[in-house]
Structure 1
Amino acid sequence: MKHLVFLLTSLVTGVLLITGCQSTTAGGATGSSRSQFLLISSDEVNQSAATAYKQALGKARSAKVLNTNTNDTKRVQKISKRLIAQVGIFRSDALKWNWEVNVIDSKEVNAYCMPGGKIAVYSGIIRSLNLTDDELAAVIGHEMAHALREHSREQISQQVATEQALSIAGALAGFSSTQQSLAGKAGELFLTLPFSRTMESEADVMGMELMARAGYNPEAAINVWKKMEKLGGSSTPELLSTHPSDSSRIERLQAELPKVMPLYQVALKTQGKTVTSRKK
């Protein structure tokens, strides 16, 4: 019996893998086009994200911590606008997303971008890391990359596959109940499920390319994670609890830097500026 269950589970998983693999983005200069396992539709995930984001803003508004610092809000929105203008290189449909950008006044060292372009930056990360505009662009670009690559959709799809494999009869009949169940609680998953190291690496690299194209020094991305490591100490910042920062991560960014630096140089020439190194 166990052998039969194993065979059926393998069969279901294999079918799901074959039918659900695709890439959500074009590769860009850094080749960010890994084939992904996607079963849930973008519309389902984006709708759930819009609802979850609205609820999060409602809570922040009730607590009187939503966009309370005009300077922070203007700064984050200005940087985000420049980054958003570059998303078409990875996916043209993202240019039409209903992007929203807000700042939450909190000591929490965190930021996120929900599916469909719902951005929130916590003032704690700006203050604690004393972020320059380039470094803030690196943080926002990283989070935007998660949305562009639809990492949340990928995670939910993986959970669907797991549920289906454990409920073989339902899987063979179709996705319906399990799919709807997970899609229904997707909002809870956006802020609780940690991204895998593969996803984090993709967001690092794509985010660095995004900021370079927008005219922000990509070297700042490396500096952000160095600052995060120093800030960690004995207590791990919220952002690091789901965004592992280590020497291999910094090394990967350094290795990809030559691919994106020319993009930064072109952006600066377009803006009539000169290139200067900002390594620290």
Structure 2
Amino acid sequence: MGVMKMKKFARFFLVGAVIIIFLSANASLAALEPDSVKSVWAKLAKTAGIDPSAPIAVVDQKEPNAWVSFSLNKYSITVTKGMLELLDSEDELAGVLAHEIGHIKLNHYGRTVTRSILWGLLFRKVGSSSGIDPLDIGYALAESGFSREQEVEADDYGIELAARAGYDPWGLVRALEKMKEAGYETSPSGFNSHPPTDRRLIHVRNKAAEVSTRY
């Protein structure tokens, strides 16, 4: 092969390599596909010892969110398209979904129902002598306080579970950081069910650092 042909080949090869690198970089920044939810959930559910065949829905909602819905002894999982567009990796998705599994494994639904009944009975006894229905206040205060505790428990469980399933324990941390950067955060308030975002991030960073030493 002549010198000119060698130079042209080298230039062509270099341009091709740059294009491949560029496409690979952009692919890593692309939104996660809905099928990722099913595959990540199945892996986490198997590790946690729960039914991996629970119904999963991806809804057309721009806000990044994910939640578990309970009906009797069954549950279903919902993830918004906004969440899939915000996250960059399955490690981050695993952190979010493992948090939701935490609510299931830690029986937060059953505990919440029992607690709501008890608070309702307590506040109805003192509700007749006031112009404000203390039942409403009781529910709000009780559920906000206890729900924060449950969210922290689910965070801790989820980080551990994600690591046991082979995912990066820092996935939930990065997911929460991205939600904050996108403008979705919880402010300090007695009526918010989730802990304030900054305080929550401090906790999950410490937990992820601790779990990372064991996996």
Please confirm whether the aligned pair reaches a TM-score higher than 0.5, indicating the same fold. yes
What is the total number of aligned residue pairs between the two structures?
Answer: 160
Secondary structure at 2:168's aligned position in 1? coil
Counterpart residue number, 2:33: 72
Distance (Å, rounded) in 2 between the aligned partners of 1:233 and 1:97:
29
Counterpart residue number, 2:57: 102
Distance (Å, rounded) in 1 between the aligned partners of 2:185 and 2:124:
43
Pick the aligned partner of 2:182 from 231, 234, 239: 231
2:83 maps to a residue whose letter is I
Contact 2:87–2:93, Cα closer than 8 Å, also in 1: no
Q: TM-score with structure 1 length normalisation?
A: 0.50
Pick the aligned partner of 1:260 from 202, 206, 211: 211
Distance (Å, rounded) in 2 between the aligned partners of 1:107 and 1:96:
28
Displacement, 1:228?
A: 1.4
Pick the aligned partner of 1:203 from 154, 160, 163: 154
After TM superposition, the structure 1 stretch with the greater mean CA deviation from structure 2, 159-168 or 219-228, is 159-168
Contact 1:218–1:261, Cα closer than 8 Å, also in 2: yes
Structure 2 counterparts to residues 1-280 of structure 1, below 5 A: 72-88=33-49, 95-96=50-51, 99-115=54-70, 116-127=74-85, 129-166=86-123, 196-232=147-183, 242-262=193-213, 265=215
Distance (Å, rounded) in 2 between the aligned partners of 1:213 and 1:83:
9
1:112 maps to a residue whose letter is W
Displacement, 1:203?
A: 0.9
Secondary structure at 1:121's aligned position in 2? strand
Distance (Å, rounded) in 2 between the aligned partners of 1:131 and 1:113:
22
1:246-265 deviations in whole A, cap 9, x for unaligned? 222122122222442255x4
Counterpart residue number, 2:11: none
Displacement, 1:140?
A: 1.0
Secondary structure at 1:232's aligned position in 2? coil
Q: Which consecutive residues of structure 1, in runs of 5 or more, have no partner in the other structure?
A: 1-70, 89-94, 169-192, 266-280
Secondary structure at 1:126's aligned position in 2? helix
Task: Return the index of the structure with the highest Cα Rg.
Answer: 2
Displacement, 1:196?
A: 1.9
RMSD across aligned C-alpha pairs, in angstroms? 2.9
- Runs ≥4 residues deviating over 3 A: 233-236, 241-245
Are the structure 2 counterparts of residues 220 and 235 from structure 1 closer, same or farther at C-alpha, using a change threshold of 3 Å?
Answer: closer
Contact 1:72–1:123, Cα closer than 8 Å, also in 2: no
2:206 maps to a residue whose letter is A
1:217-275 deviations in whole A, cap 9, x for unaligned? 01121111111111126999xxxx75344222122122222442255x4xxxxxxxxxx
Distance (Å, rounded) in 2 between the aligned partners of 1:233 and 1:147:
24
Contact 2:42–2:52, Cα closer than 8 Å, also in 1: no
Displacement, 1:198?
A: 0.9
Q: Percent identity?
A: 28
Are the structure 2 counterparts of residues 106 and 130 from structure 1 closer, same or farther at C-alpha, using a change threshold of 3 Å?
Answer: same
Contact 1:97–1:117, Cα closer than 8 Å, also in 2: no
Displacement, 1:163?
A: 2.2
Distance (Å, rounded) in 1 between the aligned partners of 2:34 and 2:197:
30
Q: Which consecutive residues of structure 2, in runs of 5 or more, have no partner in the other structure?
A: 1-31, 126-142
Contact 1:98–1:117, Cα closer than 8 Å, also in 2: no
